[in-house]
Amino acid sequence: MKQHGEIKFIIVSLLLLIVCSCNNKENQDSVKSMNEPSRPMSELEYLVLEKGDTNAYSELDIAYLDYGHGEFFKFAKVMADKYDYTQAYFDVYFQTLKSTQREGTTLSLDSCSIEDRNLAIKYLKMAEKKGHHQAKDEIEELKKEGFIE
């Protein structure tokens, strides 16, 4: 009889472990990224594309850090072209850059097509013209690398 009680204890313990581990799995699946926006993505996308909302743009930009490079391009392009938003001009440049094999560099103009390179430089110059400080620094660097005369 003593052995029968021990077997029951082991079975109950195993069942509790299984139930607890299943609950932990559910909690792990609901872990949020630190880049997840406080508002629904669809709302942010609408506010950016249709209203030119710069706060929504910033929040969406952060959320897109969890996406592939270049996927934020369409939002930056609309904010630059339609709403003349300075940060968006720089973001069009940055989102146009492609992966590179150059040592110490992950994204660069050297991997872009001539068309993409010209687009990127055009938007970078527009960002600089509007007073974007990082654009000015980037242009100086591109001059050293021979991409801009």
34 found inside a domain: no
Q: In one letter, which amino acid is 56?
A: A
19 found inside a domain: no
CA distances from 142 to 87, 91, 139 (A): 19, 16, 5
pLDDT of 17? 60
22 found inside a domain: no
3 found inside a domain: no
Structural domain of 63: 41-145
108: left (phi over 0), alpha (psi -120 to 50) or beta: beta
pLDDT of 113? 84
Identify the CA nearest to 127 among candidates 113, 145, 142, 114: 142
Counted domains in the chain: 1
113 found inside a domain: yes
Rg of the Cα atoms in the chain: 25
pLDDT of 25? 47
How confident is the prediction along the chain (149 residues), in pLDDT tens digits per residue?
Answer: 556 666 666 666 655 666 655 555 444 556 778 888 889 999 999 999 999 999 999 999 999 999 888 899 999 999 999 999 999 999 999 998 876 555 555 567 777 888 999 999 999 999 999 999 999 999 999 999 888 88
Element (H, E) at 98: strand 98-99
15 found inside a domain: no
Specify whether the CB–CB gap between 124 and 96 falls below 8 A. no
Per the structure block, which two tokens stand in for 13? 């313990």
Residue 107 phi, psi (nearest 5): -130, 140
pLDDT of 139? 94
132 found inside a domain: yes
Q: Cα–chain-centroid distance for residue 36?
A: 10
Specify whether the CB–CB gap between 79 and 57 falls below 8 A. yes
35 found inside a domain: no
